[in-house]
Structure formats: structure tokens, C-alpha cells
Amino acid sequence: MLGLGNNLKKVGLVTPGIVTDNLVMKHMYPGGAVQPLSDGAAYFAGAGADDYIEVADTADLDGGTGDLSISFWMKAGSAAYSDKILDKWTQGGSAGYFILVSSDGKIRPRWDDNSNNVVNTAVTVVADDTWHHVTVVWEHGANHYVYVDGVLDDTVDISSVTGSVANTQPFRIGMNNSTSEDFTGYLCNMGVWNRTLTQAEIKSIMWKQYADLSTTEATNLVSWWNLDDAVNVALNSLDSLSGSNELANSSLSVSDVAVQGANSIAVGTIASLEANEIKVTYINNDDGVKISLSSSNGGVFTSNLVVNTVYQLKLKAKINSGNANLRLYDGSNTYILDNISNTEYQEYTYNFAAKNATSAYINQELLGSGQIFHIKDISLKAYPGDSPHGVLS
């Protein structure tokens, strides 16, 4: 939608008349489903996964007796109900604040000075397996405001909270400070400001990454996390992830792959396949085949994994018709990596933290009659450096 600038005068136009000056883009109205601007997002696996990102206590994140605004993109389903998105508060009572997903899938913020507190559930359901941009603005001693996708969703009086909300707790993303209420879903582009954001600023910020913020938008910005990297150090190129950090893909044989049910399998040069190519033909089990990511259990690699090390998994995949899921088991939890529907090979890259040295594998899901699934060029490489709490992918 184009808004006409104030300097544009109503005059007669010579046919064909085209206005080229003083046109101002007022809002962005993207076509199709809403998507975040970040290149990736942090995935939090929910209850029992112990996935969180923790930032040490600092005055900039305390809130105190000042204003605070927190903005982020999220994608979560019903599994996220009653989960903490972020927490700087102590379970059982203290000064502080948090933002969680309510039991009915809506944003629920808390503002607490340890004498009075306001906790209120907003209006719009955001835990609906769709990307949403959320901003919570606390105007200390006045109101809090919740914006969903740039639209004001809720306004609540918090004038009863007049004291300081500061505490010494860490700022934790994805879990509360009592290591429970684990968030299930994706988060990215989270920013914290020591001031109130206006609706106009929110509508602009939601479409930007940190580098794109204007000087005004960055005023009193104290923290920004893209949440789109795989590890807490700069990602290395594949060339620097070689040598001792690389688990080399060995030549494949039928014995390297665990067939599910009576499904037919061909490996390597069998049936005119390329080297290191696996062909899975569905017979009676929709899980296809298991391909171990270690040297144990008939694995295709020369080493076992190192627990809690972050790995980069690359492979190429295709399917002859329809679609099927490509899944990863990290030794503790199973994740759907992608829904494969392409009939020509495409390359896929994933990052994950190993939870077990020998039991991680990839397999398929929802294979059906007449479907043939191909995988080739599997590569698994370890990132140097320590892995963070919360696997970022």
C-alpha cells in the first residue's frame, strides 16, 4: 500500500499520468505466510530437554523503576502452553518479570516489585504453529502493552507496581530460573530496550535484523540476539572443520544401514546408484531405514560422537513422488528435519548437539506405497568450541 507524501498536490495529469515523486511506503504487507527476517532460529525442545540460553545478571536487563520493551519472533504449537519464553524472576515470589505462553496459547507477561504484581493474559493465540512477532512494553507505573504482529493486542494497568522490579537473577531464554516450564518452539531476533517502543517503531523493527535498525530505533537498545547461529562462537567454514574434527563418510554397504520392516534397500553402486547413495523402497514400514551417525551399531562413520558437541550434518535427498519426512534422533529426542518432496537431489544442512555417543541416527517417516527415497553424500563434522545451553539451528 502506498501513502502519498504531504507535498503531493492534486493537479491535472497529462495522460498517461504517472506519479513518481513524493511516494512514501507507509507499511509492509507481505504476501503469504508471515516469516521472520532472521536466517535461522533457536529451537527449544521442551520439557526434559534442558534447553535454555542464559545471560548473567546486569543492570541493563533489570528493569528497575524504568521502562522496558522486549521484542521477538516466535513459532510454537500447543505443546508450548504454559511455557516460559523468557524469565528474570524467581518461582515462588520476588521482584522481576517474565513472558510466558498461557495455558490457552496466549502471551502472558508479569511485572513484579515484590509488593505488588500484575499478570495478565493477552487476547490473540500465538501458539498455533505459525510465526508471530511479539512485543511486550512495560511503562513503569502506568500500563503494559502487548503487540502481536505489529497490532496492539492488549493494554493493562500496572500503576500498582511502583517499586523496583530489579533482582540478581540471570536473564534466561527458553526456561524459568527454577529449571522448569521449558519452552517448546522457535525464537529469533530478540531485542531488549530500556524504554517504551512506539507502535510505529515496532512495525518497523519487526522486519529488521540488528544491522538494519535506524539510530533512533537502536536508542536504549541494551541487548539483541539473532538466535540464528549453531554455536556460541563464530561459525567456521567447512575447510576449517576438517582434520581431526571431521568424521569421514566411509564407503557404504548394505550392512551399514538398518532396514525397517521388509523395506527394500540398495546401497552404493548397486542398482546403478552413485557411490555413497542409499535407495529406500517402501514395502511395509513407513520409517524407511536407519542410518547410524557413529561407527557403532552398523554406522557409516569412522568415529563415535562426542556427547554435547555440536555437529553439522549435510546430505542430499530426493523422493520419486509425494513427500516424506527426514528425521534425526540425537540420542535423546527425535526431530523432523525436513519434509522432502523434491524429485531431484537437493542439499540440506542441519546443526545438532549429540546426546549420546553411539545411538544417533537419521531415518525417514511417513513413507507410503510406491515411494522411493534417496539419500547420498552424507557428511558429519564437529564444530570446535563449547556448545551452549539450547541447540541453535
pLDDT digit string (tens) for 18-49?
444 444 433 333 333 444 455 567 788 877 77
The verdict on whether omega for the bond into residue 16 sits within 30 degrees of 0, i.e. cis, is: yes
pTM summary value: 0.53
* Average pLDDT rounded to a whole number, residues 58-83: 89
Q: Where in the chain is the domain with CATH 2.60.120.260?
A: 238-382
372 pLDDT higher than 70: yes
* Separation between Cα atoms, residue 358 and residue 295, nearest integer Å: 7
338: cell is 525436513
Q: Dump pLDDT digits (tens) for 323-359.
A: 999 988 888 888 888 899 999 999 887 777 778 888 8
Query: Per CATH, which fold does 238-382 belong to?
Result: Jelly Rolls (2.60.120)
Query: Distance between CA 189 and CA 236 in Å, rounded?
Result: 22
Q: What would the grid cell of residue 225 be?
A: 540476539
Confidence of residue 1 (pLDDT cuts 50, 70, 90): very low
372 within 8 A of 319, measured Cβ to Cβ: yes
Q: Which fold has domain 42-225?
A: Jelly Rolls (2.60.120)
Other beta carbons within 10 angstroms of residue 317's beta carbon come to 23
- pLDDT number for residue 25: 38
Looking at per-residue pLDDT, the higher value among 382 and 155 belongs to 155
Cα(51)–Cα(381) distance, rounded to whole angstroms?
Answer: 22
Residue that wins the pLDDT comparison between 85 and 236? 85
Residue 252 has pLDDT above 60, yes or no: no
pLDDT at 376 over 90: no
- List where CATH 2.60.120.200 sits in the chain: 42-225
d(CA 363, CA 260): 10
Distance CA 375, CA 367 (A): 14
What does the CA dihedral 393, 312, 180, 104 come to, rounded to 10 degrees? 30
Lay out the sheet containing 289-292: strands in order across.
257-259, 289-292, 361-365, 324-329, 334-340
**Which residues fall within 8 angstroms of residue 363, CB to CB, at 6 or more apart?**
260, 287, 288, 289, 290, 291, 327, 329
Buried/exposed 253-290: b ≥16 CB within 10 Å, e otherwise: eeebbbbbeebebbbbeeeebeebbbbbbbeeebbbbb
Taking only the tens place, the pLDDT of each residue in 203-215 is 999 888 887 889 9
Count of CB atoms within 10 A of residue 175's CB?
27
Predicted pLDDT of residue 22: 46
Residues 157-193: pLDDT tens digits? Answer: 999 999 999 998 888 888 887 767 889 888 888 999 9
CA torsion sign, 235 to 239 to 245 to 248?
positive
Give the Cα-Cα-Cα angle 264, 291, 368 (nearest 5 degrees).
40
In angstroms, how far is the first alpha carbon of the chain from the final one?
34
- Predicted pLDDT of residue 262: 55
Q: Which of 90-94, 133-137, 170-174, 237-241 has maximum average pLDDT?
A: 133-137
Q: Which H or E run contains 204?
A: helix 199-205
Q: What is the mean pLDDT of residues 255-279?
A: 58
Is-contact 363 337, C-beta < 8 A?
no
Question: How confident is the model over 139-157, as a mean pLDDT?
Answer: 94
